[in-house]
Structure 1
Amino acid sequence: MTDKTMTLITELTNIPSPTGQTREVITFIHDTLSTYGYQPARDNKGGLTVAVQGKNNQQQRYITAHIDTLGAMVRAIKPDGRLKIDLVGGFRFNSIEGEYCTIHTQSGKTITGTILMHQTSVHVYKDAGTAERNQENMEVRLDEKTFSKEETEKLGIQVGDFISFEPRTCLTDSGFIKSRHLDDKVSAAILMRFLMTYAKDQTELPYTTYFYFSNNEEIGYGGNANIPKEVVEYLAVDMGAMGDDQQTDEHSVSICVKDASGPYHLGLRNHFVQLCEQNHIPYQLDIYPYYGSDASAAMRAGADVKHGLIGAGIDASHAFERTHTDSVKATSNLVTAYLYSQLSI
């Protein structure tokens, strides 16, 4: 199962999908799952729902993963033809310094470039190492012959064009996967893989379950609408945050007990722990201090559900991320155990 999941992760990370421009990746998921007999439905915001009928249709579950990623937009075209950028999502300019990128023009044409400090050359700029990494100092150097605003405009580039970052997805012999946008395409791949397996096995779920691929999570309102009134449990599958004072690692599934929105439902959290212990799934409990999820967005919107959050442990979140097949497997196993379990108490 893990090999196919890793293939899906690679396919997903290589489809550009900054928040606001997610149609291509949603179409990929739609078309892939349609071949397995599902009838995925798009909502008005562009997200995708796959409904799976279960034994109990009076009490239902809702599980999400988001496919939108960090990215940028063209903020302005500078007099020398280079681009000023505006960030999409919560990350820092220093995390994209030196990254290859693609500008997606209104006409559909794409143009490549590199994100750099204006004061990059140490042979010219005394403050190359000390200048602040911010909107004023960072720019996109286009891979085109352009030396003026007018020449760049003739390429078809304009304010508001989306900018995606090169993922550089790499699988190592030691079992690591490193890439941009593992948040949250690891989880999307896990849900897709579950649905592919379910279509072949046809082992009926105990509860009707909605699988939602959300496309606005990075800006705070991914999975907060279109939740049927019969839904009683809501699980967001997203990344587990690693760092100082964190227990999350790259070899287990992370169960979030609290993030910036507050505590997650205690009964559902305890249910995840019990499932991990019963099924010998390595896990960690953790608090993510500067974090929000589809589930927390649903709670802010007023959803009357038990909400939970689990995910693979991912290092260097919102930068050049990494996880291990161990963590992907543990998360997949907990998702499967949960979906076949009885409701939490």
Structure 2
Amino acid sequence: MKLPHIDSEYLVDILLRLLFTPSPSGYTDRVVHLVSEELERLSVPFELTRRGAIRATLKGRVSEPDRAVVAHIDTLGAMVKSLKENGRLELVPVGHWNARFAEGARATLFTDHCQWRGTILPLKASGHTFAPEIDNQPGGWEHVELRIDAKVRTLEDLLRLGVHVGDFIAIDTAPEITDTGFINSRHLDDKAGAAVLLAAIESVHREGLDLPVDCHPLFTISEEVGSGASAALHQDVAEMLTIDNGTTAPGQNSSEFGVTIAMADQSGPFDYHLTHRIIQLCQEFAIPHQRDVFKYYRSDSAAALEAGNDVRTALVTFGVDASHGYERIHLDALESLARLVGIYMQGPPLYSRDRYGIGPRAGFPTQPG
């Protein structure tokens, strides 16, 4: 195994392209085409599920027990709940996020035939009119509305524009990268994870790295609504590494620097042996890392297991400040993660016994104790 060189310019470029491609869960076709075109450019074969999850293949010396590395390319968003008499739109969230992070956001409304720009505002938005009532009004999705940038004052005006209940709304990401390496944007969860995976693939392709077993990069399109990798796995995958965001908040051990390795989330502990293989790789190749446990969190790993897949799973993350809000990460974490993923792809299978779904006790591992 060798430490791959990660092209940071490529990583940032593909991240920005992903961020500027709207993809709320349920409205992901555009980003599927973007990632597919990039895989084609890198000469990586892939296939799509019916709904658009991407299953790529990096060929190894042998085909089993093969592995997968997964990131999701769907994001949070919103949907029209009702058309209001005042020409505004009532909204419901797509995915789980708080309406306070939607207030003031610029957004795009996708109708059946066109799209409109607009702003999500609290019901009382004018300081010159409502003054202290603005601070006192309650929060929540029932207390915000979308103002469309068109001549609409009535429900009939909305109907003339072709607006319907159930139309999707994508929130502007508004990315900014500072000279200090910080990246501020919405939807870094998990566009940054997808960029990390593509950067690792690019390094494997550019350096011609030898892989011992087939590795399947997966890009899922429904993680934010819970189903994620439930239907995207190849049935012979024995181990799966998930890339997603960690939470750099009070009481957490995540960091915006290096790799944060999740030991458990609300769905339970991750696979002991695969997780400790990841820790070992970080130690061996001097990749800065820390461990964390997430109480209110689930990922593609949980979706895969709940769907009945008997696969070892681990979760590696980039630390995100203000997750599911206006998020911030650091380029250092993305580069560290991409190196780790590139190393992991070059490593031997965790256990040769894992090529069998069910087998004898011989070769089954033992935890220390």
TM-fit CA distance, 1:226:
4.0
Choose the corresponding residue for 2:218, options 203, 212, 222.
Answer: 212
Indicate whether 1:115 and 2:94 are aligned.
no
How much identity, in percent, do the aligned residues show?
34
Matches within 5 A, 1:327-342: 327-342=333-348
Indicate whether 1:241 and 2:247 are aligned.
yes
* Residue ranges of structure 1 left out of the alignment (5+ in a row): none
Choose the corresponding residue for 2:301, options 281, 295, 298.
Answer: 295
Partners of 1:332 and 1:39 in 2: CA distance: 20
TM-fit CA distance, 1:190:
1.2
Q: Which moved more, 1:35-44 or 1:270-279?
A: 35-44
Q: Secondary structure at the match of 2:228?
A: coil
For residues 35-81 of structure 1, what are the alpha-carbon distances to aligned partners after superposition, in whole Å with 9 as ceiling and x for unaligned?
22223211012111111211121210011000000000011110010
* Residue ranges of structure 2 left out of the alignment (5+ in a row): 1-6, 352-369
For residues 210-257 of structure 1, what are the alpha-carbon distances to aligned partners after superposition, in whole Å with 9 as ceiling and x for unaligned?
111000000011111242332110111111112111111111111000
Partners of 1:290 and 1:257 in 2: CA distance: 13
TM-fit CA distance, 1:297:
0.7
Choose the corresponding residue for 1:312, options 315, 318, 341.
Answer: 318
Matches within 5 A, 1:1-345: 1-107=7-113, 109-125=114-130, 126-344=132-350
TM-fit CA distance, 1:338:
1.1
Kindly provide the amino acid, as one letter, of the partner of residue 90 in structure 1: H
Partners of 1:66 and 1:289 in 2: CA distance: 20
Partners of 2:234 and 2:47 in 1: CA distance: 14
Q: Secondary structure at the match of 1:129?
A: helix
Partners of 2:127 and 2:235 in 1: CA distance: 60
Partners of 1:222 and 1:164 in 2: CA distance: 19
Tell me the equivalent position of 2:364: none
Do the aligned residues in 2 keep the contact of 1:39 with 1:50 (CA within 8 Å)? yes
For residues 168-199 of structure 1, what are the alpha-carbon distances to aligned partners after superposition, in whole Å with 9 as ceiling and x for unaligned?
01110010111001000111011112222322
Q: Secondary structure at the match of 2:135?
A: coil
Kindly provide the amino acid, as one letter, of the partner of residue 62 in structure 1: A
For residues 71-128 of structure 1, what are the alpha-carbon distances to aligned partners after superposition, in whole Å with 9 as ceiling and x for unaligned?
0001111001001001000110001110101101111x11001000011123322421
Partners of 1:343 and 1:47 in 2: CA distance: 25
Partners of 1:226 and 1:271 in 2: CA distance: 24
Q: Secondary structure at the match of 1:123?
A: helix
Q: Secondary structure at the match of 2:196?
A: helix
Kindly provide the amino acid, as one letter, of the partner of residue 78 in structure 1: K
Partners of 1:64 and 1:283 in 2: CA distance: 20
Kindly provide the amino acid, as one letter, of the partner of residue 306 in structure 1: R
Do the aligned residues in 2 keep the contact of 1:77 with 1:158 (CA within 8 Å)? yes
Q: Secondary structure at the match of 2:340?
A: helix
Do the aligned residues in 2 keep the contact of 1:57 with 1:207 (CA within 8 Å)? yes
Q: Secondary structure at the match of 1:310?
A: strand
Partners of 2:123 and 2:180 in 1: CA distance: 38
Partners of 1:143 and 1:214 in 2: CA distance: 33
- TM-score, scaled to structure 2: 0.91
Q: Which runs of 4+ in 1 moved over 6 A?
A: none
Kindly provide the amino acid, as one letter, of the partner of residue 336 in structure 1: G
- TM-score, scaled to structure 1: 0.97
Partners of 2:235 and 2:80 in 1: CA distance: 40
Partners of 2:185 and 2:336 in 1: CA distance: 19
Do the aligned residues in 2 keep the contact of 1:33 with 1:196 (CA within 8 Å)? no
For residues 283-315 of structure 1, what are the alpha-carbon distances to aligned partners after superposition, in whole Å with 9 as ceiling and x for unaligned?
110011111111111111111111100011111
Q: Secondary structure at the match of 1:238?
A: strand
Partners of 2:245 and 2:232 in 1: CA distance: 23
TM-fit CA distance, 1:343:
2.6
Partners of 1:70 and 1:136 in 2: CA distance: 17
Partners of 1:226 and 1:69 in 2: CA distance: 17
Partners of 1:78 and 1:94 in 2: CA distance: 21
